[in-house]
Amino acid sequence: MTIEEAQSTVDNWIKTIGVRYFNELTNMAMLTEEVGEVARIIARRYGEQSEKESDKAKDLGDEMADVLFVLICLANQTGINLTEALQKNLDKKTKRDATRHLENEKLK
């Protein structure tokens, strides 16, 4: 699925199953909550915190998909074409960081 298709699929889901979009502030709070769930799994599974039994069954991919879903909702609500935004962002990073990472001693 392309990003454009994902935006359309989420929009269709919202309009047919979700009834309507939550407002942008609610979705921002939900995005923060979902990112926190991803952070909890990463911190405990890959970081130094011990993983609780209740966290071991958590599906990291599913939690990341929750983040993506809410991010797509926000993009749809605010008229952002994520394909164009990502390409513009990659172009900016490529120009700005053309040699920065290659010259970073910490990355060698």
Tens-place pLDDT, residues 5-59: 999 999 999 999 999 999 999 999 999 999 999 999 999 999 998 888 888 899 9
Q: Is the pLDDT of residue 102 over 90?
A: no
Alpha-carbon span 97 to 64, nearest angstrom: 27
Q: Tell which residue, 61, 28, 68, 27, has the closest CA to residue 42.
A: 61
SS3 99: coil
Q: Residue 108 CB: number of other CB atoms within 10 A?
A: 6
Identify the pLDDT of residue 4. Answer: 98
Q: pLDDT class for 77, splitting at 50, 70, 90?
A: very high
Residue 50 has φ and ψ, to the nearest 5°, of -75, 145
Q: Is the pLDDT of residue 101 over 90?
A: no
Q: Are 6 and 72 in contact (CB under 8 A)?
A: yes
Pick the CATH number of 3-81 from 1.10.287.1080, 3.40.190.10, 1.10.3720.10, 3.30.565.10: 1.10.287.1080
Domain boundaries, the chain: 3-81
